[in-house]
Amino acid sequence: MNTKRNRLLYLHSTRKLSSKHLLSLIRHVRVEEIHTLDVASLAFHTKAKTDTVKTWTKHWNEHPYADFKPPEIPAITLFDQEYPRRLYELPDLPPVLYYSGNLHLIHAQHLLAVIGTRSPSRYAETVMPNLLEPVIQQGAVIVSGLARGIDTYAHKLAIGKNGTTIAVIAGGLNHIYPKENRGIANLMATKHLILSEYFPTQPPEKWHFPERNRIISGLCDRLFVVEAGVRSGTQITVDCALEQGKDVYALPGNINESTSKGTNQMIFDGAQMVLSATDLLFQE
């Protein structure tokens, strides 16, 4: 048994211990010693509030490491050789990723993130097959967030065109959201891949959605925004991609449609305009 890895999984199961706080601790303290630190030391290394830190220590007292059993759902940690190399570039990389499906997809040569509004127009639904099918046939893995709308279209297109796709979800793998996507999630959990940085029993919280966006952009080589409003969660992923030095592509649309205002603004601000599938194809 890899004790260091198992200790990390144990810490990751701690209530209210975020990936950000856990990563900060790992960078300053040996992972085997973290749960033995006092409240003051934990607060110093993480800058977390005292009440939050006391929640961690209470959890460790009630659930000692000696009694810990890793969840049945497999996990990959930053101590593992299989950890996705693209995510090592992130300053706030997830220390642990739980997964269902084909983990080899995270190491594919080309990964394209496809994101957008949860309420897409008929225009988006019409043009997405023409734009994405050649990229899928090229062998690129489609990455998205399993949300309603554009995300779901993207995953279904990849599956329907005999391609491959990765979903990075908010909340743990035992809590697929939204419920109507549980069917596609079950399908993806075999040939495709579902990833989550949250402990499997953790229900999705509203702040999980913007948090997971850095992983979507971090995994991909480039990001394609199909439709988005001016102020939307999609912009968070775009900002993450830009901070990570990724190329952002956007689909132009009707200036009178709210779902195109965001993408049109992105193009105005410097995103690459997508007019045909050729614009999205990777150079071999």
Query: Is residue 87 a part of any domain in this protein?
Result: no
Are 29 and 45 a contacting pair, CB within 8 Å? Answer: yes
pLDDT, averaged across the chain? 95
What does the alpha-carbon distance between residue 281 and residue 140 come to, in Å, rounded to a whole number? 9
Same domain, 236 and 148: yes
pTM of structure: 0.95
Over residues 32-49, the mean pLDDT reads 95
Query: Is residue 77 a part of any domain in this protein?
Result: no
Q: How many degrees, rounded to 5, is the angle at CA 210 between CA 52 and CA 260?
A: 160
Query: Is residue 88 a part of any domain in this protein?
Result: no
Same domain, 222 and 146: yes
Q: How many degrees, rounded to 5, is the angle at CA 172 between CA 125 and CA 215?
A: 60
Residue 2 has a pLDDT of 63
Residue 248: name the closest of 266, 233, 262 by CA.
266
Domain that holds residue 31: 3-70
What proportion of the chain, given as a percentage, has pLDDT over 90?
94
Over residues 102-121, the mean pLDDT reads 96
For residue range 67-99, list pLDDT tens digits in order.
999 999 999 999 999 999 999 989 999 999 999
Provide the number of structural domains found in the chain.
2
Q: How many residues are given for the chain?
A: 284
What does the alpha-carbon distance between residue 104 and residue 192 come to, in Å, rounded to a whole number? 9
Residue type, position 39, single letter? V
Residue 19 has a pLDDT of 93
DSSP 8-state secondary structure symbol assigned to residue 69: -
Confidence of residue 241 (pLDDT cuts 50, 70, 90): very high
Are 87 and 195 a contacting pair, CB within 8 Å? Answer: no
Q: Work out whether the CA dihedral 10, 16, 20, 25 comes out positive or negative.
A: negative
Same domain, 141 and 61: no
Q: List beta partners, residue 76.
A: 97
Same domain, 128 and 258: yes
